[in-house]
């Protein structure tokens, strides 16, 4: 197979014209097979060039994939598995990316923790769980999480608790605190820390129960009256977490 022309392109690429057909290849491949000093190549070498072209095309796609946003090793492996590559080529690309620092699970962990702490409401436990699912070494995860200022976490938690209490218009203090514990523990905060913050807050039930009473009264009076109306009101208010004494008090006063 005769090499008729070699033309240098941008980004380390070359255009080879072989037996009247153009193929785009890379400078690394030209060097690897000493193409610049050959006039002819065998069909076997032509096949190797095509195979290596596929390798480098995928490699460059992976680099672009990483540059957009830092990825974990697992994410890169999953991405590589979407291409037609054998395990040897996948391992080769992974190693090459590790050698030049584009895959670095410690740097990825550090960046992920920072992003979630400052750009989301996620707490340490949720962050840790995600990183574990990314197959990050536990020693790396725990080491990087240990660098978080505990007071910073408590300040963030206090803001979340305060916001939820101020936005409460329906629940009793008892039910609200249960809901806050549930929501914030799902976000990855320790229950002990949540409790320590909640203990500093007093939730006034009086205005809330009055509002809920009037809301349900207007609805239920269309269907019920007398003792049955009172019974239905109590059922609705109990479901909101108000105590029997609080309910009796608001019914008697209203």
Write the DSSP symbol of residue 40.
B
- The C-alpha R_g of the chain, in whole angstroms, comes to 32
* Beta strands across the sheet bearing 21-26: 3-8, 13-18, 21-26
Task: Give the pLDDT of residue 184.
Answer: 96
User: In this structure, what token pair is assigned to residue 238?
Assistant: 């109990």
Rounded to an integer, the average pLDDT of 59-74 is 91
pTM exceeds cut of 0.75: no
Helix and strand totals (H; E) in the chain: 13, 3
Q: Burial letters for 64-76: b for 16+ Cβ neighbours within 10 Å, e otherwise?
A: eebeeebbbbebb
Q: Which helix (H) or strand (E) holds 16?
A: strand 13-18
Architecture of domain 105-148: Orthogonal Bundle (1.10)
Distance of CA 31 to the CA centre of its chain: 42
Q: Is pLDDT at 237 greater than 60 in this prediction?
A: yes
**Confidence grade of residue 251 (pLDDT, cut at 50, 70, 90):** confident
The closest alpha carbon to 59, from 89, 25, 29, belongs to: 89
Q: Which two tokens stand for residue 237?
A: 């208010």
Q: pLDDT tens, 136-163? A: 999 999 999 999 999 999 999 999 998 9
CATH number of the domain at 3-99, out of 1.20.1630.10, 3.30.1370.160, 1.10.10.10, 2.10.109.10?
Answer: 1.10.10.10
């Amino acid at each position: 197979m005769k090499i008729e022309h070699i033309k240098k392109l941008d980004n380390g690429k070359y255009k080879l014209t072989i037996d009247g057909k153009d193929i785009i290849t890379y400078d690394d491949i030209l060097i690897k097979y000493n193409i610049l000093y050959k006039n002819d190549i065998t069909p076997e070498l032509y096949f190797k060039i095509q195979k290596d072209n596929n390798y480098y095309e995928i490699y460059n796609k992976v680099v672009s994939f990483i540059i957009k946003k830092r990825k974990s090793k697992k994410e890169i492996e999953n991405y590589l598995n979407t291409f037609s590559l054998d395990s040897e080529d996948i391992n080769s690309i992974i190693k090459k990316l590790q050698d030049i620092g584009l895959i670095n699970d410690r740097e990825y962990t550090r960046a992920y923790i920072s992003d979630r702490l400052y750009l989301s409401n996620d707490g340490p436990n949720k962050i840790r769980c995600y990183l574990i699912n990314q197959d990050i070494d536990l020693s790396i995860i725990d080491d990087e999480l240990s660098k978080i200022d505990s007071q910073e976490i408590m300040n963030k938690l206090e803001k979340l608790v305060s916001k939820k209490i101020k936005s409460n218009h329906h629940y009793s203090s008892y039910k609200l605190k249960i809901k806050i514990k549930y929501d914030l523990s799902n976000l990855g905060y320790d229950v002990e820390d949540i409790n320590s913050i909640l203990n500093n807050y007093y939730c006034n039930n009086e205005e809330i129960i009055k509002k809920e009473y009037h809301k349900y009264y207007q609805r239920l009076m269309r269907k019920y009256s007398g003792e049955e109306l009172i019974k239905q009101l109590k059922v609705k208010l109990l479901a909101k977490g108000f105590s029997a004494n609080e309910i009796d008090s608001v019914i008697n006063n209203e």
